[in-house]
Amino acid sequence: MDLKQIKQIIELMKRSELTEFAVEEEGFKLKIRRGMNGLPIVSTSRGGSNPPFAGVDTTPPMPIPAPSAAAAPAAPKDETGVSYIKSPMVGTFYRAASPESKPFADIGTKVVENSVVCIIEAMKIMNEIQAEVKGTVVEALVENGQPVEYGQRLFKLTQ
């Protein structure tokens, strides 16, 4: 299975109610399931001498726990009346759809839960990121083209 086919499956999942997809062919296993935020989570494996689906756990996947505070550097404290838009994935941050376009969200922009505020490119797929909170953008915390981590703060908002 090539990358183009995997991208087509992900697009199909985005446009439909499909929550999980799994396929295996000649020792290659692909499983895609919709994450808690609605975005696809892709996992693949290449099998060796094992027969198809041998030893595969068919129980529903457990949510991945958040990293412990001891393992991660201390997160900045939240301020009263301030909220943050955080990255739902690892990728490259872009403030606009193209270099010539104006940013989705600039300082002073009022956003609501479904407002698109940026794009994060992951595995050559452009993912529109929604605010998921209401407020006014007071600071962009990431530079255009910068790599971002899961949970990293992207924008600072006031209520």
pLDDT per residue of the chain (159 residues) written in tens, 0 to 9: 677 777 777 777 777 777 777 777 777 777 777 665 555 555 555 554 444 444 444 444 555 455 544 444 445 555 778 999 999 999 999 999 888 889 998 899 999 988 899 999 988 888 999 988 999 999 999 999 999 999 999 999 998
- Which helix (H) or strand (E) element contains residue 20? strand 20-25
CA 37 to chain centre: 8
pLDDT of residue 32: 77
List where CATH 2.40.50.100 sits in the chain: 82-158
Instruction: Give the whole-angstrom CA distance, residue 92 versus residue 120.
Output: 5
Which one-letter amino acid corresponds to residue 63? P
Q: Are 137 and 156 in contact (CB under 8 A)?
A: yes
Is the pTM of the predicted complex or chain greater than 0.75? Answer: no
Report the CATH fold assignment for 82-158. OB fold (Dihydrolipoamide Acetyltransferase, E2P) (2.40.50)
